[in-house]
Amino acid sequence: MLAIAEVTPAWYLVLGSLLFTIGAVGLRVRRNPLVMFMCVELMLNAVTLTFVTFSRMLEDVHGQTVVVFVLVVAAAEVVVGLGIMVALLRKEPEATADDLTVLKG
């Protein structure tokens, strides 16, 4: 019989650090504003996974409470960030993150 390994909190922490690293590398390497935005969202999700893991390990609800606030901030970021990016990319379809002078009135 094949033994199934138990999923411990260490697995979740490794997954969270891997997701955060992928997001940070993508943020540094890519210049497309939409891809950079997605990388920031990936980093936020990695942090929320870590908060929930530590909350479960310590049997405390405060980490999960912080996750609710992080998700609210992420939702507000999506609304404002996507609005800015759509405005930027409509005016200049091939714009990169270095071309923020396009946003000047």
The predicted-structure confidence for 16-71, as pLDDT tens digits, reads as follows: 999 999 999 999 998 888 888 899 999 999 999 999 999 999 999 998 999 999 89
- H or E stretch at 2: none
Q: Which of 50, 89, 87, 48 is nearest to 69 (CA)?
A: 48
Query: Is residue 96 over pLDDT 90?
Result: no
CATH of 9-103, one of 3.40.50.720, 3.40.630.30, 3.40.190.10, 1.10.287.3510: 1.10.287.3510
Q: Confidence band (pLDDT; 50, 70, 90) for 103?
A: low
CB burial of residue 98 (10 Å; 0-12, 13-18, 19+): exposed
Place of tokens 């980093």: 43
Among 27, 55, 51, 57, smallest CA distance to 41 is for 27
4 pLDDT higher than 80: no
Phi then psi dihedrals of residue 104, to 5 deg? -70, 130
H-type alpha helices, the chain: 9-29, 33-58, 62-91
